[in-house]
Structure 1
Amino acid sequence: MKFLYNHVALIEETFDYSRYLEYPATEDERLYLSNSHVFDLFKIALWKETCVELAKIFKPKIEGNININKTIPPKKSNNELKDFTTLIFQMKSGDFGENAKMTEKIQEWEITFAEYKGQIQLLKYYRDKVYAHTDLNRKHSEEIEIQYQDVNSLIVFAKSIIDFLSNEVLEWPINIEVPKFNPEKFDIIKKLINYEKFSSLSHPTTNLQ
């Protein structure tokens, strides 16, 4: 569970950076980024990493062999869960115990999974056919496009599952081991803008983009 929690936290981190570079807080930043090839590469790389890793934890179906008769409770098991499809399968199999509240939650999550089926399949498509390969197929990438709001919805859904299990089922806190994106502290673009303004006074040709 800890692996899955930290994996989601890391996905959220790369997503937040990529989204900020696409939708910055100020007009000055937007203008700067629209002419910056370097930050455009950063944004694309972070976006690809987000989609590839998110696709791993939202499998369209169970893959491989799942042992539903564990002798070690999940709380003490060394076998880390790495995707939500397997996690919910194990919950339905009774690996986390049984109670009415959890049964209700599983039903709720399965409905949400069905609602997000299109987005999950699209993530898998991009991972397998576009982002995970160096021979980028431009035709495919132009036909369909996954949106920031789609990815954000899946991240929020993933966090809600983990929070429920951590607080309501396992009753033990999970510490985040990755940094949390803070837009107020992400001021490198503002600093570069100010540097260029200052530098242009004495060096008109200076450009860090």
Structure 2
Amino acid sequence: MKDSEFKKKTKELKNLAKDQVQQTDDYFNKMIELEKILEDCRMNISIAKAQNGFTLSTVGMIDNREMEPTIFVQINDDSSNKQKFELYSPEKIGELDNDEKKLRQRKNVDKNDEKEQSTNSKTSKIIPNFRPFGLLEPRSAKIARTKISEALERICEMSNIQNTIFKLEKQIKKLDDEVMNSLGDDYQEFVKISTENIDNKTINDEIKNNSWIKPQVV
């Protein structure tokens, strides 16, 4: 490998490593946000229980009805063949299905029927049938529902970031292998010299100066 190509690949490795660190930092920030949202959700559920007189006997009741999901997670592949996680409401999916049916049956459907279908799809609203606090929910229960929606959004964002991190790891490993293979015997000699220079005293000094690698006493 030529020096110019070697420098180019090492520079690309540094840029990929920076991107990986940035994406990892974003992931942990989203994780902290998610923990805060879930804490708020649990707090509001507890408040709703106290306000509604939610007893333990009610918790044990099992609802055997088949419930419709209030939100969907759709996985799409973008232009760079990277999976993207997105949230969709049943209303949105219903509108997309109606549009697709209209395109297929445009010649056989009357214009008035089309207008009526589009009006019904807009006015119809999906009401969640999981209501442990009854139809007249307290305000704290509604806030908890909103918080759960926010949590799902954060989870999708974290999934997208995690997918990006995995892709960067593959690129880094591929480039790193190319660089190491191009060095050949020079790399092996460098590793040999580096390991020979490390003695027990150096290792003990490192352990002494870095408390985080000291063995923990339980």
Is the shorter-chain TM-score for this pair beyond 0.5, marking a shared fold? no
TM normalised by structure 1 equals 0.28
Query: TM-score w.r.t. structure 2 length?
Result: 0.27
**More RCO (CA 8 Å, sep 6+):** 2
| Higher fraction of helix | 2
Select the structure that is richer in strand: 2
